[in-house]
Amino acid sequence: MDTGRDLELYDTTLRDGTQSEDFNLSVEDKVRIALKLDELGIDYIEGGWPGANPRDDQFFHEIRNYSLSHSRIAAFGSTHHARYPAHEDPNLRALVAARTPVVTIFGKTWGIHVRDVLRISPERNLELIEDSLSWLRSRVQTLFYDAEHFFDGYKADPDYALETLRRASAGGAEVLVLCDTNGGTLPYELTEIIKGVRKTLGEGVRLGIHCHDDAGVAVANSLSAVRAGVTQVQGTMNGFGERCGNANLCSVIPDLVFKMGYQCTAGKNLTRLTSISRFISEIANLSHNKYQPYVGASAFAHKGGIHVNAIQRNPETYEHIRPELVGNIRRILLSDLAGKSSILAKARQFGLNLEGHDPAVMDIVAQLKELEAQGFQFEGAEASFELLMRKALGISCKYFDLIGFRVIDQKSKDDGPTQSEATIMLHVGGHVEHTAAVGNGPVNALDNAIRKALEKFYPQLKEMTLQDYKVRVLPGSPGTGAKVRVLIESKDQHNKWGTVGLSYDIIEASWQALVDAICFKLLKSEEKI
């Protein structure tokens, strides 16, 4: 086993991950996630299928406006349709039109798909594979081939499965990715098949692995594939994907680096893994899996008796790695020891002078625990957390005081629009400002009203725009009586920041997040003076 070789990581969260039930992303969401994956050091980011839907086409156009520091964007598609020659196929032309540095196409390996899905001869399928790759080869920088259902196809007819790989290689594919598309192959089977592929095709052929988790072994299969000689690993963040999901890169990467000794660019940035994992869940408006290995809130949580006593003496007694290696924290449940290191790390990140012996540290820890118990979530809302820390340290600024606000929604006809109006009264700059505004819904009306009242005093607020708004209903009280958490993403010419609010009342939760967003903008404007 050669652990000295570098591995390539290929993320397909933005394409395969979006096939997961309840996992939906806007174009802006996809861009924000891509930037985070680039920050982590993922080598390839599969953005979608050009021509499949307008959203993917918009993403490929929009992402060209950003300079990625490491990652390369990949477009995904299929071999050409049997009724077209390669040069006339709309799918292949759309892949080229996406202007991505990487293109990945998939083809059929398993006989039942050739016969029952494509309804063509086995030889015609081989022609589709080679012709598609040959036509793309001179038109793209980097070309990969996904051998769909490879392991099932190999088990049914190994000679034909291997021939599809030979044709893909002849067509110019740089990496042949072996896909366990149905997710039913077990690690011992997978390892033997990969050894057979390498023996037949030769050591010089570069292989990749793409596993689904229908048998619960996608991560294990990915690791086994690397041990067997694969050099590219495909997967998704948090394991999002169709049916039971894909191989979870949040487990695969630290396993490869910390447990197996392999090297990859993302392995140098694993202290960011937890925050990026949770950021993606929050952007998708989904609860983060607290029991997820490495990055879950419970991954390094300890509760009760012998475990707590042991962990305080030596963390290795009940932790397989140090949590800070993946950006997570140790949590001693029901104890004021939880979270201290995280608070100090955040203080350094925010440029705040805070030492471990400062009593304010434990005050902040206590506040954080209480707020999290209520349902607040500060991943994706670090601006709110920085304001909380500044208030605890006595260095926060008061830019205005609320005297009161009122929001009215009026609907006069069943088929007519709802009219929203907000009235607000603030004490600001020694004056009482009383104003009103309308909007597209009550939150937009409230946002417009507060800006109308404040912009004459703080003209820099004109630079700030609300970029995204998400509402999450929290478990607890049933139905419409439940608490809601509001996450707001704001931006100006230079920065983006997230804020959070929580209440049984969606307007109140939105108000909290709006106020934090405005105060954070004013705070950062002061720091630049």
CATH code for the domain of 186? 3.20.20.70
Q: How confident is the model at residue 477 (pLDDT cuts 50, 70, 90)?
A: low
Residue 409 placed within a domain? no
Is the predicted pLDDT of residue 443 greater than 60, yes or no?
yes
Cβ-proximal residues to 330 (8 Å cutoff; 6+ apart), any chain: 300, 301, 302, 311, 315, 319, 323, 338, 341
DSSP, res 423:
E
Cβ-proximal residues to 398 (8 Å cutoff; 6+ apart), any chain: none
Q: How confident is the model at residue 5 (pLDDT cuts 50, 70, 90)?
A: low
Q: Write down the pLDDT at residue 330.
A: 82
The whole-angstrom separation of Cα 243 and Cα 150 is 18
371-426 pLDDT, tens digit each? 888 888 887 788 999 999 999 898 888 899 999 999 999 988 888 888 999 999 99
Give which of 240, 191, 180 is closest to 215, Cα–Cα: 180
The residue that leads in pLDDT, 357 or 71, is 71
Q: Is the dihedral of CA 265, 268, 272, 277 positive or negative?
A: positive
Exposed e or buried b for every residue in 446-465, given b needs 16+ CB within 10 A?
bbbbbbebbeebbeebeebe
Residue 90 placed within a domain? yes
Give the containing element (helix H, strand E) for 59.
helix 54-62
10-30 pLDDT, tens digit each? 999 999 999 999 999 999 999
Name the H helices within 375-505. Answer: 382-392, 442-454
The whole-angstrom separation of Cα 20 and Cα 149 is 19
Q: Write down the pLDDT at residue 231.
A: 97
Q: 251-255, 376-380, 430-434, 499-503: lowest mean pLDDT where? A: 376-380
Residue 356 placed within a domain? no
Q: 77-86, 415-424, 437-446, 468-477: lowest mean pLDDT where? A: 468-477
Residue 15 placed within a domain? yes
165-219 pLDDT, tens digit each? 999 999 999 999 999 999 999 999 999 999 999 999 998 999 999 999 999 999 9
β 419-428/401-410 pair status: antiparallel
Mean pLDDT of the chain: 92
Q: Write down the pLDDT at residue 494.
A: 83
Q: Is the dihedral of CA 509, 510, 516, 519 positive or negative?
A: negative
Q: Write down the pLDDT at residue 356.
A: 79
Q: Write down the pLDDT at residue 45.
A: 98
529 burial level (CB within 10 Å; 0-12, 13-18, 19+): exposed
- Residue 154's CB is within 10 A of a number of other CB atoms, namely 27
Cβ-proximal residues to 93 (8 Å cutoff; 6+ apart), any chain: none
Q: How confident is the model at residue 336 (pLDDT cuts 50, 70, 90)?
A: very low
Residue 194 placed within a domain? yes
What the block records as the tokens of 356 is 């471990």
Mean pLDDT score, 337-349? 66
Residue 128 placed within a domain? yes
Residue 301 placed within a domain? no
Q: Write down the pLDDT at residue 338.
A: 43
Q: Write down the pLDDT at residue 92.
A: 97
Give which of 515, 381, 380 is closest to 447, Cα–Cα: 515
Ordered DSSP codes for 80-122: PPTTS-GGG-HHHHHHHHTT-SEEEEEEE-SHHHIIIII-S-H
Residue 49 placed within a domain? yes
Looking at the chain, the whole-number percentage of residues with pLDDT higher than 90 is: 74
Q: Write down the pLDDT at residue 8.
A: 98
Is the predicted pLDDT of residue 100 greater than 70, yes or no?
yes
The residue segments making up the domain with residue 73 are 8-283
The total number of structural domains that make up the chain: 1
129-149 pLDDT, tens digit each? 999 999 999 999 999 999 999
Q: Which residues are bridge partners to 102 per DSSP?
A: 74, 142
* Global confidence as pTM: 0.71
54-82 pLDDT, tens digit each? 999 999 999 999 999 999 999 999 999 99
236-287 pLDDT, tens digit each? 999 999 999 999 999 999 999 999 999 999 999 999 999 999 999 989 989 8
Q: How confident is the model at residue 479 (pLDDT cuts 50, 70, 90)?
A: low
